[in-house]
Amino acid sequence: MTATIETLPDVLSPVRFHQVGKTFGTGRKSVVALDGVDLEVEPGEFVCLLGASGCGKTTLLNLVAGLDQPTAGRIELNSSRPAVVFQEPALMPWLTAAGNVELPLRMAGVPKSQRRAKAAELLELVRLAGLGDKRPHELSGGMRQRVALARALASTADSTDGKPALLLMDEPFSALDAITRDVLQGELLRIWRATGTAILFVTHDVREAVRLGQRVVLLSSRPGRVVQEWDVEDAPGAVDEINTALRKVISSHAA
Amino acid sequence: MPLDVQEGSVEAGLDALDTPVNITEGSRVRRIAARVLPPIGAIVVLVAIWQALWAAAFWPEFKLPAPAAVWSQIWQLVTSGDIAELFWVSVHRAVIGFAISLVIAVPLGLAIANITVVRRGIGPLVSGLQSLPSVAWVPAAILWFGLNDRAIYWVVLLGAVPSIANGLVSGLDQVPPILPRVGKALGAGRFGGIRYILLPAALPGFLGGLKQGWAFSWRSLMAAELIATSPELGEGLGQYLHNGMSLSDISMVFAGIVLIFVVGVGIELLVFRPLENTVLRARGLTASAR
């Protein structure tokens, strides 16, 4: 499916980085989080951003999400508003699961009956149909993260104007236990295939990156630069190779 | 994935195992009894001690009245219907004063919480006003407005506004920073962020402020009524108490205190406690719900 889209010449990438840099603070105390990052995500592509702590993965996602501005270069965003899933589900505790999914639609002024239908559809997509009335505290960690995913998808669904959709995920499964994480990784792949959205997925877990992504991009730390990229679709052997590269990046900071 | 496991069933199983279990204990009657009996018991013990002290005649009768004498004062107010006027005069003033305080305090609290200059400038002032007994404003209010309702409302406002505004500010300050960030990522503008994220998130703290604001407005009102007495003002609970003092009738004074207490506690129990419990329970904060 992806291959056929890529051959179309007039399809825009959901997001493209042009020599993007981000520096926090000024003068001698400034910290360079990102430096000269060039990166492109194709429509419908699943890209994993891999890096150790301090590589500016989260900063990079914040820039795409518009939560922060780059200090150098520019980000070309051709998608509707990117959907963001954070490490914590961060559901609104005063709203039900369905209310949380409806929230972005409510803020966009979508009429009630349409909101209801859309929320039910998205909850069904994340296999939570019939649990829309539950409050966040009545759900397990994995279920909450799935509600957060449905909510994020709703935030792009309100502005479908033919532009390619983009889903940003910031280590969304790292706070979950191993079994739940495993199941949710499978679910994410299923949802990705069902929706055809492009995904930019940040993680520090090499196995997770290789299992999920079509392409793995390794970032160095302080400053964050693109070190190397791998096409990992149908290449499970890449884990060892990427691990070695990641270790090299980390050990370069030992001195 | 093994072939004998249906797609999605592992997840469904995990969901079933992980979902927190809610247990409601005992029957409805039992839960209500468990909540109502302890305070009733405490009141019974208190009255018994009072009765014993009175019977022992440690103090002369004009200093410590018999519980029965106080009760007959209250009962007389009930049978004569005077109690309705006492309650009406005081409670409607307190409610109106509280409502005006709310209208002033909410924008004030929002401004303090969201605008740095306002917080630095007015924030300490509002906190300071909270610790200034509002009864201190009674003389000034009487000199400014004369012996009328406006003087009384002025005192009530200065009692309640700082508490409500401070409650709102601390409620807003305690909103986890991730929530506004998520709101922004979901497309909330400045106004939408306040309306849909910040205000609902701050609600528990704000309710605490409201409760305290009510207590302060009731307290200030009683102080004002007690000091500012005039025929034009009608007879509220504070005036009743004042009359008891003028008549050197200790049982009347005690009856006044009891009635003021009953109204203050009653409104908290009937209005604020259920409101707070509903809000906390909806958010899964049941451990602190009483």
- Pairwise pLDDT comparison (A146 vs A242), residue with the higher score: A146
Contact B254, B177 (CB under 8 A): no
Q: Nearest CA of chain A to the CA of B162: how many Å?
A: 26
DSSP B268: I
Least Cα distance to B172 among B223, B129, B115 occurs for B115
Strands in A166-170's sheet, in edge-to-edge order, are A83-85, A166-170, A198-203, A46-50, A215-219, A226-231
Q: Where are the beta strands (DSSP E) in chain B?
A: none
pLDDT for the residue numbered B104: 94
- Chain B, 231 to 270: residues with Cβ < 8 Å from chain A are none
- Pairwise pLDDT comparison (B290 vs B228), residue with the higher score: B228
In a domain, B75, yes or no: yes
Contact A165, A80 (CB under 8 A): yes
pLDDT for the residue numbered A148: 92
Any CB–CB contact under 8 A between B123 and chain A? no
Note whether B195 and B88 are same-domain residues.
yes
Range from A6-15, A173-182, B56-65 carrying the lowest mean pLDDT: A6-15
Residues in chain A, how many?
A: 255
- Please judge whether A138 and B19 are an interchain contact, meaning their C-beta atoms are less than 8 angstroms apart: yes
Q: What is the pLDDT of residues A114-163, one digit of tens each?
A: 889 989 988 988 888 888 888 988 888 888 988 998 998 888 765 555 56
- Please judge whether B283 and A94 are an interchain contact, meaning their C-beta atoms are less than 8 angstroms apart: yes
Taking CA–CA distances from A84, the nearest residue in chain B reads B185
Helices and strands in chain B, H and E counts: 13, 0
- Please judge whether B196 and A140 are an interchain contact, meaning their C-beta atoms are less than 8 angstroms apart: no
Q: Give the mean model confidence (pLDDT) for residues B220-240.
A: 86
Note whether B81 and B47 are same-domain residues.
no
Any CB–CB contact under 8 A between B187 and chain A? yes
pLDDT for the residue numbered B1: 44
pLDDT for the residue numbered A8: 47
Contact A33, A22 (CB under 8 A): yes
Rounded distance between C-alpha atoms, residue B73 and residue B34, angstroms: 32
A11: confidence class by pLDDT, cuts 50, 70, 90: low
- Please judge whether A127 and B1 are an interchain contact, meaning their C-beta atoms are less than 8 angstroms apart: no
- Interface probe with A: pick from B182, B198, B206, B281, most Cβ of A within 10 Å: B182
Note whether B91 and B151 are same-domain residues.
yes
Q: Using CB atoms, which residue from B14, B19, B197 is nearest to A180? A: B14
pLDDT for the residue numbered B261: 92
Contact A153, A83 (CB under 8 A): yes
- Please judge whether B283 and A186 are an interchain contact, meaning their C-beta atoms are less than 8 angstroms apart: no
Q: What is the pLDDT of residues A149-173, one digit of tens each?
A: 899 888 876 555 556 688 899 888 8
Note whether B155 and B209 are same-domain residues.
yes
Mean pLDDT of chain A: 82
pLDDT for the residue numbered A228: 82
Inter-axis angle of helices B67-80 and B28-56, nearest 10: 120
B193: confidence class by pLDDT, cuts 50, 70, 90: confident
Any CB–CB contact under 8 A between B190 and chain A? no
Q: What is the pLDDT of residues A37-49, one digit of tens each?
A: 888 888 888 999 8
Note whether B92 and B219 are same-domain residues.
yes
pLDDT for the residue numbered B3: 45
> B153 lies in which domain range?
70-288
Q: How many separate domains does chain B show?
A: 2
Q: Of B64, B87, B110, which marks where a domain is finished? A: B64
Note whether B141 and B260 are same-domain residues.
yes
Taking CA–CA distances from A141, the nearest residue in chain B reads B18
- Please judge whether A107 and B12 are an interchain contact, meaning their C-beta atoms are less than 8 angstroms apart: no
Q: Nearest CA of chain B to the CA of A23: how many Å?
A: 20
Q: Using CB atoms, which residue from A81, A94, A179 is nearest to B200? A: A94
Taking CA–CA distances from B1, the nearest residue in chain A reads A186
Q: Give the mean model confidence (pLDDT) for residues A24-46.
A: 82
Note whether B268 and B131 are same-domain residues.
yes
Contact A40, A13 (CB under 8 A): yes
Chain B residues near residue A84 by CB distance under 8 angstroms? 182, 185-186
Q: Nearest CA of chain B to the CA of A139: how many Å?
A: 5
- Please judge whether B11 and A187 are an interchain contact, meaning their C-beta atoms are less than 8 angstroms apart: yes
Chain A residues near residue B18 by CB distance under 8 angstroms? 140-143, 180
Note whether B225 and B241 are same-domain residues.
yes
Q: What is the pLDDT of residues B20-71, one digit of tens each?
A: 676 666 678 888 888 888 889 999 999 999 999 999 888 888 888 989 999 9
Note whether B165 and B41 are same-domain residues.
no
pLDDT for the residue numbered A255: 58
- Interface probe with B: pick from A58, A101, A103, most Cβ of B within 10 Å: A103
In a domain, B23, yes or no: no
- Please judge whether B182 and A86 are an interchain contact, meaning their C-beta atoms are less than 8 angstroms apart: yes
Any CB–CB contact under 8 A between B1 and chain A? yes
Does the complex come out with an ipTM higher than 0.85?
no
What DSSP line would sit under A61-86, residue for residue? HHHHHTSS--SEEEEEE-SSSPEEE-
Q: Of B64, B85, B106, which marks where a domain is finished? A: B64
- Please judge whether B18 and A142 are an interchain contact, meaning their C-beta atoms are less than 8 angstroms apart: yes
What DSSP line would sit under B201-225, residue for residue? HHHHHHHHHHHHHHHHHHHHHHHHH
Strands in A31-41's sheet, in edge-to-edge order, are A31-41, A15-24, A72-77
CA dihedral over A206, A252, A175, B194, signed as positive or negative: negative
Taking CA–CA distances from A152, the nearest residue in chain B reads B186
Q: Give the mean model confidence (pLDDT) for residues A220-249.
A: 79
Chain B residues near residue A140 by CB distance under 8 angstroms? 14-15, 18-20
Query: Which is it for strands A46-50 and A198-203: parallel, antiparallel or unpaired?
Result: parallel
Superfamily of domain A1-79+163-255: P-loop containing nucleotide triphosphate hydrolases (3.40.50.300)
Question: Which residue intervals of chain A bear CATH 3.40.50.300?
Answer: 1-79+163-255
A1: confidence class by pLDDT, cuts 50, 70, 90: very low
- Interface probe with A: pick from B5, B22, B175, B186, most Cβ of A within 10 Å: B186
Q: What is the pLDDT of residues A50-103, one digit of tens each?
A: 887 766 778 888 888 888 888 888 888 877 778 889 888 899 999 999 999 999
- Please judge whether A151 and B12 are an interchain contact, meaning their C-beta atoms are less than 8 angstroms apart: no
Helix (H) or strand (E) holding B25: none
Note whether B117 and B44 are same-domain residues.
no
